[in-house]
Structure 1
Amino acid sequence: MQQLPQERLTTAIIAVTRLERAMKLTVEYTKQRHVFGKPLFARQNTRFELAECATLQWVCCTFVDDCIASHLEGGLDVTTAALAKHWASDPACLGVDRCLQRSGGDGDMKELDARSL
């Protein structure tokens, strides 16, 4: 039970890094993939979705960074660690799913990096 805050924090960190990876891959993909003569990245809906995902990423990352600092100082309590795990995991799954949707059918192909999300 003494390691519970650290374990929950580790889960939150994994969630945030998966969302960061999904964002990186999605931005690269949408800049390269052209539809109707324009890159997906240039389309308003794509940029709106990426902005939503970036917001989730930023909020999660900021909260988790604060928890990491608190943990390094020995002050991360069980409740805050549980909040970090919950807050980072759910939005990260939502963000990764939204990023995957930007890839369309390509997101289901094993040949693409989306499989590592």
Structure 2
Amino acid sequence: VGAFFAIFPGLWMGLFTGDAEVVRIGVSYLRIVGPIYALYGLGMALYFSSQGLGRVLLPVLANGVRLLASAGGALVALSWFDAGAAGFFIAVAGGFAMYGALTAGALIHTSKSEA
């Protein structure tokens, strides 16, 4: 779904507003972050799997790291590089990618420690 709306962001944004500036920023967000939603979805699916295993600490910590990485990356992008909304969106996408990777690593670590 994220990839679809990254390719055709106007379809989604048109449902919510007719304001050209809001649509422009929303389209930018969907083009940058939309394709990465799959990794965030992977992280969420693996988090729920870790609940079934009774081992949620590492996936919860991974989500905390995602939050800090997104916020820190956005702060750097906006303050140091004056990257605007696109820099903020790239930081959010990076946090989503990091969450998927860290949660996958946490589940692999949990699976190996159980064996």
TM (norm. structure 1) is 0.48
Task: Tell me: higher relative CO, structure 1 or 2? Use CA pairs within 8 A at least 6 residues apart.
Answer: 1
Structure ranking higher in helix proportion: 2
TM (norm. structure 2) is 0.49
